[in-house]
């Protein structure tokens, strides 16, 4: 079996660039939106620029939806990926294969504010400055003090 795989790789590596790119795209599409793959589809007309709130939170709605919007005290179920400025992923419910459920008043202020801007079924990208995240203290050895946090969040359910 391994030999066949290696032979196929050799064939692919000799294929025209277009075919190689198409195979890579198909591989990514096949895992998108699955528990291990990552976020589901974005709206084709999703903004490329971020909107900044008065607090300093930056966000953009990647997928609009018509479901209810949560309030600061609602419990929500979400799938998300969080990373630092250097692209280090520090947490991912996608990687765990399990969405997370929590109250919005029990997370960092940037999440509390940001999740109130998206409707159930929608997806949002957040850039959370340190003062709305873990501040100067950081969070253990994973998130250094003063870190800007980045998230893609899919709001699955408002409870």
pLDDT tens profile 116-140 = 999 999 999 999 999 999 999 999 9
CA-CA-CA-CA torsion sign (142, 147, 149, 150): negative
Helix axes 17-31, 2-14, angle to 10 degrees: 130
Q: How far apart are CA 12 and CA 18, in angstroms?
A: 11
Residue among 60, 38, 57, 29 at smallest CA distance from 148: 57
- Look up residue 112 and give its two tokens: 């509390």
Strand ranges, E, within 35-105 = 51-52, 58-63, 75-83, 89-92, 100-103
* Residue keyed to tokens 């969080």: 82
Q: Is 9 exposed, middle or buried (0-12, 13-18, 19+ CB in 10 A)?
A: exposed
What does the pLDDT read at residue 37? 74
In this predicted structure, the answer to whether residue 2 has a pLDDT above a threshold of 50 is: no
Average pLDDT, the chain: 84
Regarding beta strands 51-52 and 58-63, do their DSSP bridges make them parallel or antiparallel, or are they unpaired?
A: antiparallel
What does the pLDDT read at residue 36? 55
Q: How far apart are CA 137 and CA 157, in angstroms?
A: 31
Distances 54 to 51, 61, 137 between C-alpha atoms, Å = 10, 17, 23
- Look up residue 139 and give its two tokens: 């969070």
- pTM of the predicted model, to two decimals? 0.77
- Decide: helix, strand or coil at residue 108: coil
The CATH class, in words, for 51-158 is alpha beta
Quickly state the pLDDT bin for 108 (edges 50, 70, 90).
very high
């Amino acid at each position: 079996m391994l030999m066949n795989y290696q032979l196929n790789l050799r064939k692919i590596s000799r294929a025209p660039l277009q075919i190689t790119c198409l195979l890579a795209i198909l591989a990514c599409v096949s895992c998108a939106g699955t528990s291990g793959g990552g976020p589901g589809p974005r709206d084709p007309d999703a903004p490329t620029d971020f909107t900044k709130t008065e607090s300093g939170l930056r966000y953009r709605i990647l997928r609009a939806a018509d479901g209810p919007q949560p309030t600061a005290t609602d419990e929500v179920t979400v799938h998300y990926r969080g990373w630092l400025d250097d692209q280090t992923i520090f947490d991912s419910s996608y990687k765990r294969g399990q969405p997370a459920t929590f109250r919005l008043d029990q997370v960092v202020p940037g999440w509390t504010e940001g999740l109130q801007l998206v409707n159930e079924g929608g997806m949002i990208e957040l850039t959370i400055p340190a003062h709305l995240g873990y501040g100067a203290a950081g969070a253990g050895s994973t998130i250094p003090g003063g870190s800007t946090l980045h998230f893609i969040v899919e709001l699955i359910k408002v409870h």
